[in-house]
Each structure stands twice: as C-alpha cells, then as structure tokens.
Chains A and B, each alone.
Chain A
Amino acid sequence: MLKMHNIRKSFRTDTIETHALRDFSLEVKEGEFVSVTGPSGSGKTTFLNIAGLLEPSTDGQYLLDGEDVSNLNDRQRSHLRNEKIGFIFQGFNLIPDLNLFDNIDVPLRYRGFNAKERRKRIEKVLEQVGLSARARHLPAQLSGGQQQRIAIARALAGEPRFLLADEPTGNLDSLMARQVMELLEFVNEWGTTIVMVTHDPDLARRAQRNIQIVDGQVCDLRPVTEQSDAVSA
C-alpha cells in the first residue's frame, strides 16, 4: 500500500520546528493498522506530511498503492490525496464556518461527484458515526468526541484506501478516546489501511504493528506485542 525508500527531507526555512528525515525506508501493507511513535521532533510529522502528499520529499522514492508519487505535480498529488487518503487530526480541523454536512461535503466537491452522489455518501457516513441528526449543526455546537467523529466521517466519505491519523485522541478524554479508537478499528476491519501517529503507548499497542521514528529514521520494526513499555511520552 505504502512503500518509502531512502526518503530524505530537509528544510531551508527556520520557522518550522521539524527535523529532516534521512534514509527513511518503510513499507505498510494493504489492510494494516500501523502506529507510529517517537519523541518530539523525531520527524513523525514530516513523515505524516510526506505520506499524506502534503509535502514532497527532497529525495528518495515513495510508492503509494503501487504508483510512484515522488515526482507528481501539485494537481496530481492533490487528486491522489483526495481519492486515496483520508486525514484525521488531533485538533479535528473542521472548518468552523461550515456545518457538519458541508464539512463532509468538502472532499467530495473536490472529487467532482454530483449533488446526488454527494448527498448519498454524506448521509451514509453520518449514519456510520451516529450523528445523522446533527447534520446542520456547526462544529462549535458539538463536543470534542463528536467533532472527531465528524472528522472521521469526512475522511471516510471519499472511501479512501488509506487513513492517516495524527494523534486522533490527543484532545479527547479517555471515554471519547476509546470510542474513536473503536471506530478506527472498525474501519480497519473493513479493509482501510491506517497509519496512526501517537505518543500514547496504550494506543500504539492496539495497532497491529508499531514503528518508532528516532532522529529522522525508522528505529525499530517489531510486532507491537513484543515491544517494551519504554516509549516515552
């Protein structure tokens, strides 16, 4: 599903507090649920941005779903991102001016679906996350857990093959965090590949596999079950 080989990323501007990746190689298979951990500044976010086609890598090869995406232009990358990748963020990142229906509508618009298709999909995912009744509410009127469920619904509406989650439960209390995790696991069971960045060892352990990034490189590749509790928060 995702294959990175010798990825390098360096930044010239000094305003972004992210370290470069170097000789970064990684493979995620179709249907896997992988957690990514690592200390602050290790390059987790850079990995996520490159994996999510938000930023190009400086060097190296990146195959997404068998397609080499290293040298695509912005339009092609945006198209792939829209079609194959769903994002879930720690801060939910719902657009505050748009109601839930319109928020979920955003990626579908860029996909170019007609109004009927969009409505069908939006209603379906709203039902999946159990928030159909609140379609016309604004994000601010929802609790954090509900907002994250909408964000997941928005990520799923385009039926992506690959879900990227960045600390999806970071802003949630434990009950809501559990609900969100259960939802993600449910989605994974239906075949969507998930890569989740987190620094919560309990969450990381729930994934099928854990990858640790230290200083811009993949440090260790062990099955989660064998991993010690040494991951720092």
Chain B
Amino acid sequence: MIIYYISLALRSLRSTPILSALMVAAIAVGVGAAMTVLTLNYMMSRNALQHKDNVLYAVQLDSWDPNKANDTANEIPWQLTYQDAQALLRSDIPTRQVAMHRFGFTVEREDSHLRPFVASARVTSRDFFALFDVPFLYGGTWDSAADQAHTQVVVLPKATNDRVFAGENSMGKSITLNGEPFTVVGVIDHWNPAPKVYDLTNSPFADAESLFVPFGLHRQFEIDTWGNDSGWDSGSKSEGYEGFLQSESVWIQYWVELRDGEQKQQYETFLTAYIQGEKAQGRFQRPLKFALSRPSEWLRLNKVLRNDNRVLGWVSLAFLLVCVINGVALLLAKFLRKAPEAGVRRALGASRSALFIQHLIESAAIGVIGGIAGIVVALVGIRTSRHLAMGWIDTVASMDWLMMLAAIGLALFASLLAGFYPAWRISHTNPAIYLKTQ
C-alpha cells in the first residue's frame, strides 16, 4: 500500500509541476540554509578530546594585575607565565602534563631542492602526544631531558614529512630549522582537531602546527610566542631575554591529565600551596584563584561558538519555520484543489486514515526531494561561507555523512510538519459534497 501511496504522490507532484517545484524549492532553501548554519555550528561545537573529557584539565592561575582582574570569562588569564609553567612542570602529581605555546621556524633541508618555507611550530613538553592521543607513524616523543636542556630534535606531522622527506621514514634524518640542524625523532599521523581545543588563543579553527619541538629550546633560540602574549607589569626584574622569561607576561598554555578525583584533589592542594608560596615572595597579589577546566568546559569558556554563530542558528531555524508555514499554506491549497478526488476515494472505500497517510506521504515525498536538494544548497552554502570567512573556518567548513542524513531528516520532519494539517483537513472533509454534481 505504501508503494501505491508513493506512486500516487509522485503522480500528484507531476500533475502540478510548478506548485510542486515551488514547494520543493521552499523546503530545499529552508533546509539548505538551516543545514549550512547548523553544520558549521555543529562542527564548531565538536570536542576532539571528548573521549578524555573526564581526565584532561586546562590549568589557569590568577597571576594578574592586583589592581584589575583579567578580562576573560572567569577573570583568570587563559595562559601562564613561563616561570609558573616551569614550576608546575616540576610537580609529579599529574599522570601527564604539558606546557606549550605556538611559534614558527624557517624550514630547509640540506642538499635538497626544497624551497625554504616558514612553518608554524608547537614548542611543548614531551607529554603532548600521549596526553592528547596523537598517533605516531614512526618513532615517538623526545626524552625528558630535552624539555630541560637544549636538544635539537623535532617531531614532524605527516604533511610536513611528506613535504620535506617525500613521505619516507625520516627518523634520525636532519632538517634545518632557523638555520640550525634538528634531528627527526618521530613522525605523527594526520591529526588536526577542530576546534583546536588544546590552544584556542589564536584562531580556534586554525590547523594544527607543522612542527613540534621540545620545551627546552627557549634560551638557545630566544623563542617568544607566535600567539597571544599579555602583560601588566612593565617593571621587569632583569634585562634581555631572561627578563622576558621571568616577566609576568602570560603566554604558555598548560594542560594536565588527572586520572581520578583523588589525584585532582592532590593537584588542587599542590596549586594552592604553590600560589601561597609565591604570594609570600610578593607575586600573586590577587585573591588566591586558579581553575582546572575539562576540554568541554574549556571550549565553552573560550566561546568557541561565537554569539554570531548562535544568532545565525536562530535566524536559520526561524527561516526554516517560515518555509514550513509556507509549505502548510501551499499544501493546503494543493490538497483542497484535489478534494473531489479525495471524495471519490472515500466513496470507493478509502478510510480517513488511508487518505491522511496518502497525503502525508505526498508531503514526505516533497520533503525527501527537498532534502536532497537542500544538501546541495547546504554544500554550496558551506563552500560560500568558507570562501567568505577567508580561512578562519577551513577546518570546520565541511559536511559529513551524519549531517547529510540530518539534512534529509530535517527536510522530512519539516515537510511532515507542513503536511500534517492539510492532510488532516483533506481526510476529514465530508466526501459527499464533492460527489454531487453542482
């Protein structure tokens, strides 16, 4: 019977091609616009660290200006000072911990035709890969000594390895960064969390870095940050690069992995003690405050999904609602025009529910066709948004199978919603009035 209804639906759509096309177009445009925005919002709301959400924590310490709170969401600077990061690294409480920031190097390879290029780099302590579950193709992370003393080793992402070493196993080979030789100790597989939850200070939808180097390199290369560096205390204790490292500038991101509540409590005790110790030496003059945020909280706190995205979300849903109401009106007109046929069907033995289902299926057919067209609209919409955003949302501007299915689902839902009342009306019309010739 369903097949019969579907064939009737398609026949009915063909019999009024212009009206049908209008309804399909309305659903397609409504669903397309909604899915463009919802896909982007969905992609922006993802949490690449969801599987470790209950063990990872971003660390914030309130080392800010005694006279004025920092203007982040929780009034604690997003990042740490270099000296605090170094102090925290000495704790053995966390299972794993990472101090890191973004930087960049010029990249060359000795005896090759590779044109020198600039690559973004993550200067990080060795636990980065294990803590964030980064898969290795070859080798692994560097020794813990490299996080303290100057050691010129590097871990390459697959893309960089492909570019510099044509994809071969480059373990032990040399690559030139800022004119200095570095030894490759590991190559990681493709890994590009979006949003870039581990560092949201630059663009949250930027690509992961192209090089990973140890945290012990700072003094050798006088490394500063290719990211956000904010300070409040202009009076520095010492001159030159050392002065920068010992300043109150915050520019280091810090993450810890704490296996359970007990370990977390220990770590909190440790942080409290650390801040009190620093207070005794004249630092941390604000009320004692720190924060440990899970990845999901971190994404929310950093407002990765901007207000603009939320506004667009509501606008697109309201737009879809207009399309649905429009659909109700047009379907009502279309069905009522066919009321005599419905009357004949009733006389020939169709029950109200049979007619209701028949007309609902006709609406659903519009929904499915509209949904498929809507996917095309959404793909165009996403591509256009990506183009308009000029690189800001490249890592999230794509549609996966799930969202394509969701598009069909949404279209089906919208069209059933639109068809419900008209189908009810037509199935509850008295058939007798349409059977008598006027």
* Binding between chains A and B: yes
Interface residue B12 (Cβ < 8 Å from any Cβ of A): yes
Does A110 lie within 8 Å of B349, measured CB to CB? yes
A59 at the interface (CB under 8 A from B): no
Interface assignment of B437: CB less than 8 Å from any CB of chain A: yes
For A, the interface residue count at a CB cutoff of 8 angstroms equals 36
The answer to whether A109 touches B351, judged by C-beta atoms less than 8 angstroms apart, is no
Whether the Cβ atoms of A54 and B347 lie closer than 8 Å is yes
Query: Given A78-B354, A97-B12, A110-B350 in contact, is the A166-B436 Cβ separation under 8 Å?
Result: yes
In the bound assembly, the distance between CA atoms of A55 and B432 in angstroms comes to 8
B4 within 8 A of A: yes
**B431 to A54, Cβ gap below 8 A?**
yes
- Which residue of B347, B351, B430, B435 is within 8 Å of A79 (Cβ)? B351
Chain A residues with CB under 8 A of B344: 93-95, 106
| Interface residue? A91 (CB, 8 A) | yes
Contact with A along B345-385 (1 / 0, CB 8 A): 11111111110000000000000000000000000000000
What 0/1 readout, one digit per residue, does chain B (24-42) give for beta carbons within 8 Å of chain A?
0000000000000000000
Check A78–B437 contact: CB distance below 8 A: no
Q: Report the minimal beta-carbon distance from B339 to chain A, rounded to whole angstroms.
A: 12
Is B341 among interface residues, defined by CB-CB distance under 8 A?
Answer: yes
Contacts A93-B344, A97-B15, A109-B1 known; A78 to B349 CB distance under 8 Å?
Answer: yes
B436 lies within 8 A of A107 (CB): no
B190 close to A (CB within 8 Å): no
A49 CA to B351 CA, complexed, in Å: 15
Q: Which residue of B lies closest to A93 (CB)?
A: B344
User: What is the CB-to-nearest-CB distance from A45 to chain B, in angstroms, rounded to a whole number?
Assistant: 6
Are the C-beta atoms of A82 and B348 separated by less than 8 Å?
yes
Least Cβ distance of B343 to chain A in Å?
8
Closest Cβ–Cβ distance, residue B202 to chain A (whole Å): 61
- Known A-B contacts A55-B430, A97-B15; the reply to A158 vs B349 at CB < 8 A is yes
Q: Which among A55, A79, A93 is the interface contact of B349 at CB below 8 angstroms?
A: A79
On chain A, the residues within 8 Å of B4 by CB distance are: 109
Partner of B347, one of A74, A87, A112, A171: A87
Do residues A81 and B349 form an inter-chain contact, with CB atoms below 8 A?
A: yes
- B15 and A87 form a contact (CB under 8 A): no
| A67-84 Cβ-contact flags toward B at 8 Å (1 or 0) | 000000011011101110
* Chain A residues near B352 (CB-CB < 8 A): 74-75, 78
B348 and A90 contacting across the interface, CB-CB below 8 Å: no
B351: contacting residue among A75, A89, A90, CB under 8 A: A75
Enumerate B59-76 residues with CB–CB distance to A below 8 Å. Answer: none
* CB-based contact B345/A90 at 8 Å: no
Nearest Cβ in chain B — how far from A108, in angstroms? 9
> Are A107 and B432 in contact, CB atoms less than 8 angstroms apart?
no
User: Would you call B433 and A82 a contact (CB within 8 A)?
Assistant: no
Whether B340 is near chain A, meaning CB under 8 Å from some CB there, is yes
Contacts of B173 in A (CB 8 A): none
The docked-state distance in angstroms from the alpha carbon of A157 to that of B4 is 18
Name the interface residues of B188-231: CB closer than 8 Å to any CB of A: none
0/1 string, B101-130, CB within 8 A of A gives 1: 000000000000000000000000000000
Name the CB-closest residue of A to B4.
Answer: A109
CA distance A49 to B430 in the complex (A): 10
Is B11 an interface residue when CB atoms closer than 8 A count as contact?
yes
19 A-B residue pairs with CB within 8 Å: A16-B430, A49-B432, A54-B346, A54-B347, A54-B431, A74-B351, A77-B351, A78-B354, A81-B348, A81-B349, A90-B436, A95-B341, A96-B341, A97-B15, A107-B349, A110-B348, A110-B350, A111-B349, A170-B437
Given contacts A75-B351, A89-B437, A109-B1, 7 further A-B contacts (CB under 8 A): A16-B433, A82-B348, A87-B347, A97-B12, A110-B348, A166-B435, A171-B437
A-B complex: 4 closest residue pairs judged by Cβ atoms? A82-B349, A78-B351, A91-B437, A107-B348
